[in-house]
Amino acid sequence: MTKVHNFSAGPAVLPQSAIDAGIEALKNFAGTNLSILEVSHRSKEYVAVMDEACSIVKELWSLDDSYDVVYLQGGASTQFLMVAYNLLNTKGAYVDTGTWSSKAIKEAQNFGEVDVVASSKDKGYTYIPKDIVAPSDADFLHYTSNNTIHGSQFHHIPETNVPLVCDMSSDIFSRRVDATKFDLIYAGAQKNLGPAGATLVVVKKDILGKVNRVIPTMLDYRTHIEKESMFNTPPVFAVFVVLQTLKWIKERGIDQIEVDNKAKAALLYDEIDRNAAFNGPVSKEDRSMMNATFLMTDPSREADFLNACKEANISGVKGHRSVGGFRASMYNALTLDSVQALVDVMKTFN
């Protein structure tokens, strides 16, 4: 089979070991002679999957029992709502760095006062705001660690004296972070963790139960914590593949994954900076390791570049429809040789 270099922004490239394990589970899950698509989510075999998928997350981040891990559905978009429903009592502080943080802000405004304490909208979301200060009376500070559409990324954790909430959908487990600085982390799986359909939420227990409103059962984090992600039928297959991806991450080690991701990003950004046919819109100090966005100096050559990528078995580099240009998503499972293949095509346009 001809290798395709998959730069898709999500659903995205997965470790081959996770794909292979998923194929086997579709045929015969855990020796049950049943497909994972038809086995009970309350069977001991599947409960073991869910338990391990939660425990590895805590292990990778060195989290103690003051944190809970749950797997939900609805993607990060539902978390925009759930975060505000569960945490925003009077005021939420938000950092606006792109499309997804803007959507989170929009949802939060339905529940109380929203203070946008920093924004990069003034320059088309091409940089990360510095010196972020949340008001002391805010219930929490929310930010998006990596911006898939615009190609910027936080390379530091904001310092704050209020609970810290982060959407890590597109750079989770891509580098070493001190997860104990966060009170709630959420991530849609389909970029760095697994297939579409599962959403990871890590929450510190003591931030829940403080809002005055009644929270609908399905939107209350405590519901899913109490039932260990089994209040309703979870996304069974998606969580299984997430587990296989977590095993791959654990085996490789986050530190090595970070080294590899930096090498991939450096290779591509060096070519963007060297090659007069291309330019990068994002501030160099704020460039994303996960999603490199770039433009052609001569837009009339864009179709030719996409055709050249197609001929080189390169997929998924067309930029998001809202910004145009190109985007190379270099998630954990993408290999350095795939980045080299893209760079080799770019060199022919020099």
129/245 same-domain check = yes
| Residue 260 predicted with pLDDT over 70 | yes
Q: Do the domain assignments include residue 8?
A: no
Provide the mean pLDDT of the chain: 97
Q: Do the domain assignments include residue 5?
A: no
Q: Which of 36, 126, 149, 136 is nearest to 90 (CA)?
A: 136
* pLDDT value, residue 322: 87
Domain boundary among 251, 273, 288: 251
| Residue 143 predicted with pLDDT over 70 | yes
Q: Maximum Cα–Cα distance for the chain, whole Å?
A: 61
Beta strand pairing call for 184-188 and 164-167: parallel
Q: What is the DSSP letter of 124?
A: T
- Three-state DSSP at 184 gives strand
316/169 same-domain check = no
- Name the region of 119 (left: φ>0; alpha: ψ -120 to 50; beta: rest): beta
Question: What CA–CA distance (Å, rounded) separates 346 from 320?
Answer: 19
Question: What CA–CA distance (Å, rounded) separates 133 from 105?
Answer: 17
336/229 same-domain check = no
- Cα–Cα distances (Å) from 72 to 25, 75, 188, 313, in that order, read 21, 8, 9, 34
* pLDDT value, residue 42: 94
| Residue 4 predicted with pLDDT over 90 | yes
Q: How many domains does the chain have?
A: 2
Question: What CA–CA distance (Å, rounded) separates 180 from 304?
Answer: 47
Range 159-167 average pLDDT: 97
| Residue 202 predicted with pLDDT over 80 | yes
Q: Do the domain assignments include residue 319?
A: yes
Q: Do the domain assignments include residue 303?
A: yes
147/273 same-domain check = no
Q: In terms of C-beta density within 10 A (0-12 exposed, 13-18 middle, 19 or more buried), how is residue 321 classed?
A: exposed
Q: Which residues of 152-188 are buried (b: 16+ CB within 10 A; e: fewer)?
A: bbbeeebebebbbbbbbbbbbbbbebebeebbbbbbb
**191 noted as active-site residue:** yes
With bands split at pLDDT 50, 70 and 90, how would you rate the model's confidence at 149? very high
Question: What CA–CA distance (Å, rounded) separates 142 from 92?
Answer: 8
Other Cβ atoms less than 10 A from the Cβ of 227: the count is 12
User: Which residue of the set 96, 100, 139, 264 is catalytic?
Assistant: 100
Residue ranges making up the domain that contains 284:
253-347
| Residue 109 predicted with pLDDT over 90 | yes
Domain boundary among 251, 273, 298: 251
* pLDDT value, residue 350: 87
Q: Do the domain assignments include residue 172?
A: yes
User: Which residue of the set 96, 167, 171, 220 is catalytic?
Assistant: 167
**100 noted as active-site residue:** yes
157/267 same-domain check = no
211/142 same-domain check = yes
Check: CB of residue 252 under 8 Å from CB of residue 326: no
268/236 same-domain check = no
Residue located via tokens 């570049």: 305
With bands split at pLDDT 50, 70 and 90, how would you rate the model's confidence at 1? low
**Computed over its alpha carbons, how large is the radius of gyration of the chain?**
21
243/259 same-domain check = no
Range 92-104 average pLDDT: 98
Q: Do the domain assignments include residue 1?
A: no
Q: Do the domain assignments include residue 204?
A: yes
68/156 same-domain check = yes
217/278 same-domain check = no
Q: What is the CATH number of the domain that holds 187?
A: 3.40.640.10
Range 4-27 average pLDDT: 97
68/23 same-domain check = yes
Q: Do the domain assignments include residue 175?
A: yes
279/233 same-domain check = no
User: Which residue of the set 171, 191, 220, 248 is catalytic?
Assistant: 191
Check: CB of residue 187 under 8 Å from CB of residue 168: yes
List of residues 6+ apart from 260 with CB closer than 8 A:
332, 336
* pLDDT value, residue 345: 98
Q: Which of 24, 61, 70 is nearest to 250 (CA)?
A: 61
Domain boundary among 251, 268, 297: 251
Per-residue pLDDT tens over the stretch 298-331: 999 999 999 999 999 999 999 999 899 999 999 9
Q: What is the CATH number of the domain that holds 268?
A: 3.90.1150.10
Check: CB of residue 134 under 8 Å from CB of residue 159: no
List of residues 6+ apart from 140 with CB closer than 8 A:
83, 87, 88, 92, 93, 162, 163, 164, 165, 183, 184, 207
- pTM metric for this prediction: 0.97
